[in-house]
Amino acid sequence: MQSLNKFIEDETIKGYDREAEMALEAVKSGEVDINQLAETWAKAYKETTLEYAKPEENSWDEDFADVYHDLIHSPASETLLNLEHNYFVSISELISERDVELKKLQERQGAEMDKVMQELGKSLTDQDVNSLAARHFESQQVN
């Protein structure tokens, strides 16, 4: 059985060698177009590689760039830019109003603190001043 297996293996190798030699002779003699042969091998290699290779996954940056590009070049971009501008204007107005109200509150609290400081030692104690300062701080934090 071992002799038979060895004989089959040897003859198979000799058969492959004969086929390879005939293919090389065909290329050397010009029977086979070498460019066509190269293209066939390249195609087979590419298909085999693609079949067994892991597919490439897009990175988060590439996905973001693709989505951003599609968004910028879409008809919706002008609408989105107008909305963004309107939101900017609205928020800017709200911030300005908040700043004006905070300034008024600080001025009112400053005047109130000055009045209390004048009464310190007469009718008010340090505890009263500390209590007023704490209330002022809390009201500023709420606004």
- Amino acid identity for residue 115 in this structure: K
Q: If pLDDT is split at 50, 70 and 90, which confidence band does 48 have? A: confident
Q: If pLDDT is split at 50, 70 and 90, which confidence band does 132 have? A: confident
| pTM confidence score | 0.43
The string over 31-44, giving b where at least 16 C-beta atoms fall within 10 Å of a residue's C-beta and e elsewhere, is: eeeeeeeeeeeeee
In the chain, the N- to C-terminal Cα span, in Å, equals: 97
Can you tell me the distance from the alpha carbon of 142 to that of 137, in angstroms, rounded to the nearest whole number?
A: 9
User: Taking each helix axis from N to C terminus, what angle separates 76-119 and 126-142, rounded to the nearest 10 degrees?
Assistant: 170
Residue 78: CA atoms inside 13 Å, Cβ hemisphere, count?
A: 1
Per-residue pLDDT reduced to its tens digit, 81-123: 899 999 999 999 999 999 999 999 999 999 998 888 888 788 8
- Amino acid identity for residue 79 in this structure: T
Which tokens go with 48?
């085999």
Distance of CA 19 to the CA centre of its chain: 55
